[in-house]
Structures are given as C-alpha cells and as structure tokens.
Amino acid sequence: MRAETLKGHLDALVLATLRESPAHGYAVIEELKRRSGGEFALPEGTVYPVLHRLEAEGLLESSWSSAAGRRRRVYNLTRRGRSALGAQEAEWRRFAAAVEAVLA
C-alpha cells in the first residue's frame, strides 16, 4: 500500500499498536507489518517522527529502558491517547461503512 494512502490514518494505526502493551519504535513498526499482513510496509523512518509528535500532543508517554546494554525508548498510551484512539476508530468505521455502501 502506498505511504500516501496511509498518511491520514497513521496516527490511529500507531496508537492501536500500543493499545495492549507498551512498545519501542521497532516493535511498533513490526506490529504494524504483522497486523496488516505486510500491507503497511511504509518507510520505517516515518514512524519515529509520528511517535515523537503523538508524545508531544500528550497521546503517548515514553521512558528509557535498557535492552542488551542499549538504551531503548518505550512508548505507552496515555488516557488521552486511549480516548483519541476510540474517537478515531469510530470515525474510521463510519467512513469505511459509507465507502463500502457506495462501492457495493
């Protein structure tokens, strides 16, 4: 799938990958690929700036942890992020249902 197609939905997709548990950037990218069956293989460098922005907007929080002697930034959904995800999910479902109805 083209990166342009994903652009407007990337925030919701990134938030959704963090719904169950905190994760670092690489794990978020892998989870996006896994859940989409490899369809969302966007340039991996696009995800990190989005993570930073979502954190600046208060939808994510992050902290350093350590893995194999390396420093690793782990992201977690905030309460605001959870409610933003809910709102974006509902909006997407309405949109998808409408598109489906038109295409049918």
Partner 1 sequence: MTWLEDLGGELERAGIHGATRRRIELELADHLACDPSSEARLGSPREVAERFAAELRTTRTRRVAWRSFFALALTAALLVVHARALSPLGSWSAVAGTNATFVSLGGLLLVLCAQIAFVAGVLAIRRKPTDSAEAALVQRRAAVALLAGAGVVAGEIVQAGALEKYLPGWSFALALAGAAVSLAALCACTVWLRSARAVTPAGGPVPGLDRDLPRPLSSHAAAFAVLTGAAVVLVVGVGSVFAENSVAEGATRGLLEAVAFAGCYLLLRRPLAITLDRSPRSA
Binding of partner 1 by 43 (CB under 8 A): yes
Taking CB under 8 A as the criterion, the residue among 53, 79, 82, 93 binding partner 1 is 53
Residue 14: CB partners within 8 Å, gap ≥ 6? 28, 32, 47, 50, 51, 54
Q: Contact with partner 1 (CB under 8 A): which of 8, 67, 100, 102?
A: 67
Strand partners, 73: 64
73 CB-contact burial (10 Å; exposed 0-12 / middle 13-18 / buried 19+): middle
Identity of the residue, 56 or 102, whose beta carbon is nearer to partner 1 in the bound complex: 56
What is the closest distance, in whole angstroms, from the C-beta atom of residue 47 to partner 1 in the complex?
9
Taking every pair of C-alpha atoms in the chain, what is the biggest distance, in angstroms?
Answer: 54
Name the residues that contact partner 1, by CB under 8 A.
24-26, 29, 41, 43-46, 48-50, 52-53, 56-57, 67-68, 70-73
